């Protein structure tokens, strides 16, 4: 078998490319993160700020500490969202948008109501469209933009998630459609699909040490829940210069849950 010789020094060209990549990833941009007061949204804001970006967080309530500017807004209300987008337009040149705001209303098909469906669509879909519509002209004018939508593994098939699954499935469809529309303008659009991530929303349904948690963990090949920072790292990559040729994709961050489903 042939022996591979590992060079002891990095070729000058590769050193130059590596340095350029490092610098490119630190080009300061202005990023808006919705649902940024806790969990994956806050972790994403912290990660983007650590990369040198200016972060504008949005949520109904402000956290005690935040690594950037924060605007309180209720994205489940169209008029509140309209006030938000005006404020963003007046104060910032936004380069990237992370649509993370959302809620979960567990319920079977029989239990789902039209009110529940409207609530899910308003915050997951309508708000994402409304904010993106307001920011796209500026991104197009500057010839650079990033949109990351917070999807989920739920549209792959989950019980008691009728309205939530419908809304997250719509976000995936929007992601692919927007990527096709905006690619020529150097605006990438992707989605992440988290699985079981250790957040308040998860623990409300799967308390630590519960039988419900044990059943869920048995379906995850890695045998553990994920952490918000692991989702944030993928989002930060999708918002970077290095992800310039990645668009229209859904990246599942689920410890192998989506791949392992074929086992059960």
Would you place residue 19 in the very low, low, confident or very high pLDDT band (cuts 50, 70, 90)? very low
Q: Report which of 157, 155, 156, 160 is spatially closest to residue 109, judged by C-alpha positions.
A: 160
> 187-200, pLDDT tens digit by residue?
999 999 999 999 98
How many whole angstroms from its chain centre is CA 192?
5
Residue 253 has pLDDT above 60, yes or no: yes
Q: How far apart are CA 30 and CA 176, in angstroms?
A: 23
Conformation bin of residue 125: beta by default, left when phi > 0, alpha when psi is -120 to 50: alpha
As a whole number, the mean pLDDT across the chain is 91
Give φ, ψ of 11 to 5 degrees. Answer: -55, 145
The rounded distance, in Å, linking the Cα atoms of 172 and 168 is 6
Return left, alpha or beta for 108; rule: phi > 0 is left, psi -120 to 50 is alpha, else beta.
beta
CA–CA distance, 127 with 121 (Å, rounded to integer): 8
Q: How confident is the model at residue 202 (pLDDT cuts 50, 70, 90)?
A: confident
- pTM over 0.85? The answer is yes
Catalytic residue list: 164
User: What are the pLDDT digits (tens) for 28-60?
Assistant: 999 999 999 999 999 999 999 999 999 999 999
pLDDT for the residue 118:
97
């Amino acid at each position: 078998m042939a022996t591979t010789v590992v060079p002891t020094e990095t070729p000058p060209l590769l050193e130059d490319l590596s340095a350029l990549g490092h610098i490119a990833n630190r080009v300061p941009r202005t990023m808006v993160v919705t649902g940024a007061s806790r969990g994956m949204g806050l972790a994403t804001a912290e990660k983007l700020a650590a990369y040198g970006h200016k972060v504008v967080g949005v949520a109904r309530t402000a956290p005690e500490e935040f690594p950037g500017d924060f605007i309180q807004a209720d994205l489940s209300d169209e008029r509140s969202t309209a006030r938000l987008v005006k404020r963003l337009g007046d104060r910032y040149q936004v380069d990237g948008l992370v649509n993370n705001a959302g809620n979960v209303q567990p319920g079977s098909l029989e239990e789902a109501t039209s009110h529940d469906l409207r609530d899910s669509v308003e915050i997951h879909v309508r708000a994402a469209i409304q904010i993106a519509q307001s920011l796209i002209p500026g991104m197009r004018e500057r010839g650079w933009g990033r949109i990351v939508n917070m999807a989920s593994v739920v549209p792959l098939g989950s019980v008691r998630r009728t309205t939530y699954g419908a809304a997250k499935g719509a976000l995936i469809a929007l992601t692919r459609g927007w990527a096709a529309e905006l690619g020529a303008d150097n605006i990438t659009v992707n989605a992440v699909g988290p699985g079981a991530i250790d957040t308040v929303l998860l623990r409300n349904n799967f308390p630590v040490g519960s039988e419900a948690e044990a059943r869920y963990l048995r379906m995850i090949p890695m045998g553990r829940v994920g952490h918000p920072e692991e989702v944030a790292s993928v989002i930060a990559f999708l918002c970077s210069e290095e992800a310039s040729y990645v668009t229209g994709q859904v990246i599942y961050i689920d410890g192998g849950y989506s791949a392992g489903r074929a086992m059960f």
